[in-house]
Amino acid sequence: MSDEKRQTRLLPFRLRRAARADARANGAEDFSADAELTTLLRAWDAPPQSDDARARLLADFRASVRRAPLWRHALTAQVRVPLPLAACAALALVSTLYVLGSRAATARVEPSAATKEAAVRVVEVPVIQERVVTHTVYVEKKERGATRVVSTRADAREELARRSQTNEAEAANVEPSQSAEPARKQEAHAGYFTRVDMNDFQPADEMKIRIVSRGGLNEK
Amino acid sequence: MPAPRRMTDEKLLHKAGRGDEAAFLLLYERHRDTVFRFAYRMLGSAALAEEVTHDCFLSLVRRPDAFDPARAALRTYLYAAVRNLSAKHLRRHGGEFPFEDLEDEPEVEERESPLGRLLDAELSEEVRKAVTALPELQREVIVLVEFEELSLAETAAVVGADVGTVKSRLHRARRRLRRALAFYFKSHSGVASAGKVGR
């Protein structure tokens, strides 16, 4: 640090020390007591106020009071409320608002529940489903002199019929004697036989669904 | 309810703010001399001091909320208000006083001899000149401490500075005054005996 900078930095301290020494030399170290000067200064008295100062001030005060209208007083009025009382009042206000708010929310929910109930109501519409089942029937002509073959085939037919009877009984829980009987009769009557197994069964390509409204008049 | 004379300044001010004339007058009577004296010594003019006193009390009742009793006493607040108003006047008039104000100088007490009256008047005038010649910051401190007898802490509260600053200003003001009134210090005993200075 250069000497010049050092001197600059020390200057405030030196000035303060010099001021203190000066004060000590003048005997003014005690700030509360300078009796000689105080005595001398008291020679300067303040004059009394003029008589009309009070009247003038009072007039201005009345004018300022009168100028303020009642509504302004009402708007700027202040009420001093003790803190506990104010806290209780604030708490009561908040709880009241909360209760009112929750009630309003409940009232708002109620109609929506009613509409929801109405919307969920189930209306049954009669639906008629029509299935087209294609049953393929293979017919073979009886050949002469083919007794053996027929008999062989008759055995096979019997076997197949028995199997189908078993399947149908299982599926539809129907007595096998009732369904097997007409098939035999049909065979015996026409001289043809019908394969009733479902091996070559193919599902229908087309299904028609008819929806009939209640009453049946608008049937389509 | 306490009698109006026993009411605190805060209550009186509250009532006065609501338009209670009696409360306002009571407040005025309590503090008018203090306010006027300080204004007079700051401005050196009785007319200006009256104006400042008038404005000070009116602003007090127009804005009673500006006074916070938790921060300071009403007297301290009034001193600070007078200080601000005086500074405004001084700025407006550039620190110069109307010449005719010299006629408003205080009437000195009746003395036994014409010489005594003359000396008192002369001394009073010299002190007035010396005090009003001080810089504003030093003047307010010397007036508050020497004339109004406020403590250093109270003075610091009024002028809005710390006690150290007040001490420093006071010291400088006293030194200036001693220099300005040096003649009276040297011959103070003679002056006092003639005019009974320092009652």
Q: Across the interface, do B198 and A49 touch by the CB < 8 Å criterion?
A: no
Distance (Å) from the C-alpha of residue B195 to the closest C-alpha of chain A? 10
A72, closest residue in chain B (CA to CA): B18
Residue A36 pLDDT: 81
Q: Across the interface, do B127 and A43 touch by the CB < 8 Å criterion?
A: yes
- Distance, CA of B114 to CA of B63 (rounded, Å): 49
Distance (Å) from the C-alpha of residue A35 to the closest C-alpha of chain B? 10
- Distance, CA of B154 to CA of B145 (rounded, Å): 9
This prediction has a pTM of 0.50
Cβ atoms of B56 and B35 closer than 8 Å: yes
Q: What is the CA radius of gyration of chain A?
A: 61
Residue B167 pLDDT: 92
B52, B67, B144, B147: best to mutate for the A interface, most A CBs within 10 A: B147
Comparing CB atoms, the residue among A31, A61, A73 nearest residue B171 is: A31
Q: What ipTM was estimated for this complex?
A: 0.71
Q: Across the interface, do A47 and B104 touch by the CB < 8 Å criterion?
A: yes
Distance (Å) from the C-alpha of residue B52 to the closest C-alpha of chain A? 11
Distance (Å) from the C-alpha of residue B167 to the closest C-alpha of chain A? 7
Residue of B45, B194, B183 whose CA lies nearest to B120: B194
Kindly report the average pLDDT of chain B as a whole number.
Answer: 79
Tens digit of pLDDT at every position of chain A (220 positions): 556 666 655 555 565 556 555 555 554 445 556 788 888 888 888 888 888 888 888 888 888 876 666 777 777 777 888 899 999 999 999 999 999 998 888 776 665 555 556 667 777 887 877 777 777 777 766 655 555 555 566 676 787 788 777 776 666 654 444 444 554 555 555 555 555 667 777 777 777 777 766 655 554 4
A30, A41, A42, A58: best to mutate for the B interface, most B CBs within 10 A: A41
